[in-house]
Amino acid sequence: MKIAVEIGDRNAESYALAHLGLAHRDLGLYTEAIEFYDKALQVAAGISHQQVQTYGNGGIGKTYLALKDFPNAIKHTQEAVRLAGEIGMKRAQQFWETTLAETYLHMGELDRALTEVEKAFVYKSPWVKYRSHALKGLLLARRGQPDLASESFKQAAADAEEILSTTPSYFDAQYYLGFALNGMALTNPNDRASLVSQSSAAFEKAYAICKSSGVINEALRLIEELLIVDDDGELKRPRDLLQQLAKS
């Protein structure tokens, strides 16, 4: 970024600031992340750079979600969806629609969350659909529809494994694979013990790839939502393992 500022490259400066926002959010440094995203948005607005404005709004929205500041999370994420639509960024549209649905989930608005995640499937991005299917599975499980939830969790796991088959270091897909397997354990009681073990193994692998606290916190937030419908407490082991790894 220093070089971009020195040579007056505002385009490169805006990208660098947005990436610094992402890096700090993944590290769990949310205040710093918001500061970098704000600066990225200021620079991007000055040069009408809609792509960085999309990333910046989405990124800051996701940061506010981590802070449970839901009004700001919704405002910025909706703006990211709108901007992505204007410039045809389908992958970004699916990602931010799914993030918007997750925001409504954490607000307890399950019906609205399900409506939003259904919108995300229109874009069919292989790099995002595992997220969309996993979240849909969670929402269906929370709504007492285990059979439909099981189908979504299975699809999420398959989608994540497809990405990992060619990009094994893609930690986001690995974390979501762990979550999807845990969801499958909820909806498949006959295979529960095996699936819980597979989920734990997937999270261990994910942690080996990426140990950043912000990434771990995101995974834990979803697991906690799943545990709400785990009446027997059999799905806690992957959560407990991830918490233990994060403290080591």
pLDDT-derived band at 4, boundaries 50, 70, 90 = very low
Q: Does the structural domain 127-248 have CATH classification 1.25.40?
A: yes
Each domain of the chain, given as residue ranges in start order, spans 1-125, 127-248
Burial label, 90 (beta-carbon count in 10 A; 0-12, 13-18, 19+) = middle
Distance CA 239, CA 224 (A): 8
pLDDT level of residue 148 (50, 70, 90 thresholds): very high
pLDDT tens sequence across 213-227? 999 999 999 999 999
Does 127-248 match 1-125 at the fold level? yes
Q: Which residues contact 167 (CB under 8 A, 6 or more apart)?
A: 173
Q: pTM, whole model, 2 decimals?
A: 0.93
**CA 96 vs CA 20, 101, 122, 227, 244: distances in Å:** 19, 8, 13, 24, 30
> 84 and 54 in contact (C-beta within 8 Å)?
yes
| pLDDT confidence of residue 247 | 81
In Å, the largest CA–CA distance within the chain is 63
**70 token code pair:** 């839901």
What percent of the chain has pLDDT above 90?
86
Q: What pLDDT is attached to residue 59?
A: 96
Written as one letter, the residue type at 63 is: T
d(CA 232, CA 44): 50
CATH homologous superfamily for 1-125?
Tetratricopeptide repeat domain (1.25.40.10)
**Which pLDDT tens digit goes with each residue over 35-66?**
999 999 999 888 888 999 999 999 999 999 99
